[in-house]
Structure formats: structure tokens, C-alpha cells
Structure 1
């Protein structure tokens, strides 16, 4: 039986990725080992893993993660308070498929979409 999924996304620079997820988005380091070319972070029940891909061209990166939340309004407000750039096409809105969502890009152009059912 399946129990969890932990996406693996590309990163060009572990220091930059770690700073963004920990200091801007409020994630914490996860795991008992610090590998040079791998990073694991978590926040609440969500884990995201990263692998080094120094040659990544952010303009050609299609990495995406959909993260569900139970308080989209508070999460969105906290992103704005922390001066997190919201994707130009990803402002908070209710979508026709019954989700209230917003999106942002990390430093490597991985798309993070946060959503809550309504």
C-alpha cells in the first residue's frame, strides 16, 4: 500500500535552495545525514527532496509540486508578509475545479502550487 510521496526536485546550488526553503518558506532540515549533492526539507507533513543539477537552466525547468493546505488564506498572507514573490499567473484565486490556489517559483524555477478544496 502507498502511504506517502516525497517529490525530488532539481537544484543548482544547495546553499541557495536551503536558504529559500528554510529562511523564506519556513521549512526545516530533515534527515540524519548532510550529503553534498542532496537536500531534504520538511514543513508540517510535507517533505521535499532536492538533487544537485548544476547545469539546470531555470527557463527550461518544469519541476512542479502541488501542496495541499487546510488554511490557504493564512498561508498566502504569511507569504506576502515575508515578501515571497507570488507567480504572476498564480495569485490567490478560486479555480473552476473547486480549489483555492496560489503559486510561486523557487530559485530554480520549480513551481510550487498551494491549494485547498472549497
Structure 2
């Protein structure tokens, strides 16, 4: 049986990616081994893994992760308080498919959409 998923998305700079997720989204580093070309981060019950992709062109990157949350209003406000840039087309709103959502682009143009069932 399937029990969880840990998406792997590209990064160009481990330091930049790590800084963004730790300081703008509230993640923490996972694991005790530091790999040059790989990064594992977690927040609450989710993990996101990153692989080094030096030639990544952010304008050509369509990486996307949908993250289900509870208490989306509080998390959205927390990110705003940290100065996190919300996607221009992804501010917190109720969608017709029964989700309340907002979106953020990371430094490599990976789209993170956070959603809560309403």
C-alpha cells in the first residue's frame, strides 16, 4: 500500500534553496548527512527533496507540488509576516473545486500550491 510521497524537484543552488525554504516557508533540514548535490527538507508531516540541476533554466522549469494543509489562513499570514512573495496569480482564495488555495514560486520557479478543503 502507498503511504506517503516525497517529491523531488530541481534546484540550481543548494544554499539559495535551503535559505528560501527555511526562512520563507518555515521548513527545516532533514537528515544528518550533507550531500553536495541533494537536499532534504521537511515541515510538519511532509518532505520535499531537491536535486542539483546546474543547467536548469527557471523560465523552462514547470516543477509543481500541491501541498494539502490545515489552517491555511494562519500559514498564509505566517508567510506574509516573513515577507514571502506570493505568486501574483496565487493569492489566497476559494476555488470552485472546493479548495482554499495560494501559491508561491521558489527561487528555481518550482510552483508550490498550498490547499485546504473547505
TM-score when scaled to structure 2? 0.98
Match of 2:24 in 1: 24
Match of 1:75 in 2: 75
Q: CA deviation at 1:46?
A: 0.7
Map residues 33-72 of structure 1 onto 2, 5 A cutoff: 33-72=33-72
> Separation in 1 of the partners of 2:107 and 2:91?
18
- Alignment of 1:6 with 2:6, yes or no, is yes
Supply the RMSD in Å over aligned alpha carbons. 0.6
Is the partner of 1:54 in helix, strand or coil? Answer: coil
Structure 1 unaligned blocks of 5 or more: none
Count of residue correspondences: 118
TM-score when scaled to structure 1? 0.98
> Separation in 2 of the partners of 1:31 and 1:3?
20
Match of 2:115 in 1: 115
> Separation in 1 of the partners of 2:54 and 2:71?
35
4+ aligned runs moved over 3 Å, structure 1? none
- Kindly provide the CA deviation profile for residues 57-80 of structure 1, in whole angstroms up to 9, marking residues without a partner as x: 001100000001110100111111
Map residues 66-105 of structure 1 onto 2, 5 A cutoff: 66-105=66-105
Q: CA deviation at 1:17?
A: 0.3
Q: CA deviation at 1:23?
A: 1.6
- Kindly provide the CA deviation profile for residues 28-49 of structure 1, in whole angstroms up to 9, marking residues without a partner as x: 1102311000000000001000
